Amino acid sequence: MLYSTTIISRSFTSLLSRLNRIKIQYSSTPHTFLFALSTPSLSSELSSLVDTLMAFSPKSSLGCLSAPLTPGYISCSIALLDPKSAISFRSAIAGQEKTQVGRWHAFRRKDEREEEDLIIPEGAVDWDNIWKTNGKRKRKQIPEELTRLDAERVSSVLYLSDLAPEGLSSAISQSFPGASQLGLLASSTPFITGRPVTLFHNQQIFDTGAVGVAFTIPKQLKFDIPNDIQPLGDPLDVTDSEGNLINTLNFSNPTQLLLSRIRTAGIDTTSSGAITFRNNMEFYLGVLPPTSPNVFVPYQLHAITAGDPSRGTLSLNTQTVAPRSGCRVQFFHRRLVRPWSLETWRNSTSILDGKLTFTTLPSMEYLESVTDGAAEVSPPTAEEIVLENEFVVGSENGVVLGTPGEYPWICTTPGCISQL
């Protein structure tokens, strides 16, 4: 990475001035330009910032509108990548079809249905077939810019996507089986730009598909959970699962196992401030590394959305499939999600210099649902902070992660940090 910075500012003028100085400084340096911007309060300010960002590298740039890292501030992250090892692309591969309601789930345009054979009916992602192909299916299924790459040289793929990434994530798994992938589901923008999401590629704006970068230099995918997510009980083994359901753990009723751990931990499940399965999604099932039995840090974390004490089945918000039989898992819980303050970002030890960082942020609707209708937003403590050599982007819609030999999955847990 040639340069990166993340600016969290209350001042549109200050942010614009910083961006212009950086643009002048690197005007003669060839680069692929990656950016993300949360929306300021005024549409005129948004237009000025977008115009400035798209002018950095008109023929090789990609970005999206994202969520503010701290409520009440504008967030802008930029990274200048070496074009020799970072190949940008635009994808129009469709994912799962969503229920069409009003203008929210806009139908894909005709020119964006290039890969009809990759439209995946909801709940029918055949990952077994993907792995059996070992990446030997037709390369036409991937974006054109990536067809010229040697699959063995691609170490990782990063992308900014609409809310249906399944087609692209499966195409990456097929064509680059040895590569990790990290994707951000861009923030929802129907009331800001009139588009479900807003993506940028060179001088064009899109509301479907994805934009991204394939890397031919070694990059390691790293996943961290926040400190306020705590384990509940000892690890367990998945003994039966299907779809997004866990049917048995240690050959026992998984819901009863969770309830037993909740009671043992003394967690209140009856008061108005109690943790609940459905509304707050503050119970999780973490997947532990299979090759490190003494490691209890999950490399996947799925929200538990429902549980049936009689049947025992647990429903997970996996977007793909639940952990398979034989996986080592552990229950986790969290009492309350709060937005990150400027000091939290400044002092975070999870965010590493020189990395590209994605995180899931709590939506304002979520914050209001757990605080009786009034989101707890800390009052501004400073005008601006600048995180040099860091590229940090957040979205309320989640982050896609995939490692070689594993199913790609979507992390929707606020505060989790994913990095390449």
**CATH number of the domain bearing residue 296:** 2.60.40
Pick 243 or 275 by higher pLDDT: 243
Give how far the C-alpha of residue 361 lies from the chain's centroid of Cα atoms, to the nearest Å: 9
Assigned domain for 383 exists: yes
Q: Distances in Å between the alpha carbon of 167 and those of 32, 91, 272, 279?
A: 24, 10, 41, 29
pLDDT in tens, 191-222: 999 999 999 999 999 999 999 999 999 999 99
Assigned domain for 409 exists: yes
All residues at 6 or more sequence positions from 360 whose CB lies less than 8 Å from its CB, including other chains: 394, 395, 396, 397, 398, 399, 411, 412, 413, 414, 415, 416
pLDDT in tens, 161-202: 999 999 999 999 999 999 999 999 999 999 999 999 999 999
**Is the predicted pLDDT of residue 131 greater than 50, yes or no?**
no
Domains: count for the chain: 2
Give how far the C-alpha of residue 242 lies from the chain's centroid of Cα atoms, to the nearest Å: 24
Bridging pattern class, strands 283-287 and 222-224: unpaired
pLDDT category at 272 given cuts 50, 70, 90 is: very low
Q: What is the 3-state secondary structure (H, E, C) of 368-401?
A: HHCCCCCCCCCCCCCCEEEEECCEEEEECCCEEE
CA dist., res. 390 & res. 420, Å (int)? 11
Pick 294 or 213 by higher pLDDT: 213
CA dist., res. 106 & res. 268, Å (int)? 42
**327 and 252 within one domain:** yes
Least confident of 123-137, 161-175, 402-416: 123-137
Domain boundary among 285, 301, 333: 333
- What are φ and ψ of residue 336, in 5° steps? -160, 140
pLDDT in tens, 376-388: 555 555 689 999 9
**280 and 218 within one domain:** no
Residue 332 parent element (H or E)? strand 328-333
Domain boundary among 282, 315, 333: 333
Domain boundary among 318, 333, 348: 333
pLDDT category at 276 given cuts 50, 70, 90 is: very low
**218 and 128 within one domain:** yes
- What is the pTM (predicted TM-score) of this model? 0.84
**175 and 303 within one domain:** no
**384 and 302 within one domain:** no
Bridging pattern class, strands 180-185 and 156-161: parallel
**191 and 246 within one domain:** no
Please state the rounded mean pLDDT for residues 307-316: 86
As beta bridge partners, residue 62 has 34, 201
Domain of residue 274, residue span: 230-333
pLDDT category at 417 given cuts 50, 70, 90 is: very high
Looking at residue 120, its pLDDT comes to 34
CB atoms near residue 61 (< 10 Å): 22
CB atoms near residue 279 (< 10 Å): 11
Assigned domain for 91 exists: yes
Please state the rounded mean pLDDT for residues 364-371: 63
